[in-house]
Amino acid sequence: MRTLWIVARREYARYFTTPAAYLAAFLFLLVLGIIFYSNIAASVMRSFMMPGYAPGVEIIVNPMTTLLIFMVPAFTMRLLAEEQRLGTLELLLTAPVRDAELIAGKWLGSFLFVATMIAITLLYPLTLNWLVKPSIDWGPVITSYLGLLLMAAALTALGTAISALFSNQIAAFVATLAFFLLLWLIGFPSSSTGGISSVWQYLDFSQHFYDTLARGILDLRDVIYYLSVAALGVFAGTVIIETRRWR
């Protein structure tokens, strides 16, 4: 466990020393700020037409989920791809570190960074609360942010595993993004044609967020879904690293 924490801390600290990570975080917050501003403006117009209307936290978290799909690959692409390119993976794999500890540590470091970014965006609900009288509903804020963290845990774990497959960061980025989009949209065809296959819907990444967590509903099934995807990612990453040894 201690080794895991050493790897995680180093990985977390590393984000703050690389310009690329700052740039990505900056973009994330900038885009979110622009969307927030225009949503507020739209809500003001809407409240003129529909007296009593007040925007909730969904105007912040819904665009944020989409942004995560695009940003997380940028934060996870280097995790193991870079180690392979530099040859430092050979060092880590010959140090007394279990493969699972290495992968879990990498994952935890990147998850904590994304979680930090998500925490910064709490400024928006606070701003919104200040704008809306008497106040916004805090229930959905809590479940939405829990949902965002769960989603970040799952996405970073998958990103870590995919990064282990490559020694080229760009390849890792593209593959991760493609996989995320697939997960994001997997339930879409079946739900639009009348929902024949509920399996696809259960696998769908967005289904577990928009319909429940974003509306203030805490369903254990959703929590389990995200946690099992995260565990699967760490497990797959470990297996990928282990099979590398046999090549």
User: Minimum distance between the CB of residue 23 and another protein, rounded to whole angstroms?
Assistant: 15
User: Minimum distance between the CB of residue 93 and another protein, rounded to whole angstroms?
Assistant: 5
Answer for which of 27, 54, 97, 149 binds another protein (CB under 8 A) is 97
Do 118 and 38 form a contact (C-beta atoms < 8 A)? Answer: no
Answer for which of 1, 15, 18, 70 binds another protein (CB under 8 A) is 18
Classify the C-alpha dihedral 197-201-204-206 as positive or negative. positive
Q: Which stretch binds another protein (CB under 8 A): 39-47, 96-104, 170-178, 179-187?
A: 96-104
Q: CB 80: neighbour CB atoms within 10 A? A: 29
Of residues 76-95, those binding another protein (CB under 8 A): 86-95
Residues 46 and 54: their CA atoms lie apart, in Å, by: 9
User: Minimum distance between the CB of residue 6 and another protein, rounded to whole angstroms?
Assistant: 5
Closest CA relative to residue 86, chosen from 96, 78, 76: 78
Answer for which of 10, 123, 131, 218 binds another protein (CB under 8 A) is 10
Residues in the chain: 247
Nearest CB to another protein, comparing residues 74 and 154: 74
Structure tokens at 148: 């965002």
Does 98 interact with another protein (rule: CB under 8 A)?
yes
Do 80 and 167 form a contact (C-beta atoms < 8 A)? Answer: no
Structure tokens at 114: 């994304």
Do 145 and 218 form a contact (C-beta atoms < 8 A)? Answer: no
User: Minimum distance between the CB of residue 142 and another protein, rounded to whole angstroms?
Assistant: 36
User: Minimum distance between the CB of residue 244 and another protein, rounded to whole angstroms?
Assistant: 9
Contact residues: another protein, CB under 8 A: 3, 6-7, 10, 14, 17-18, 86-98, 245-247
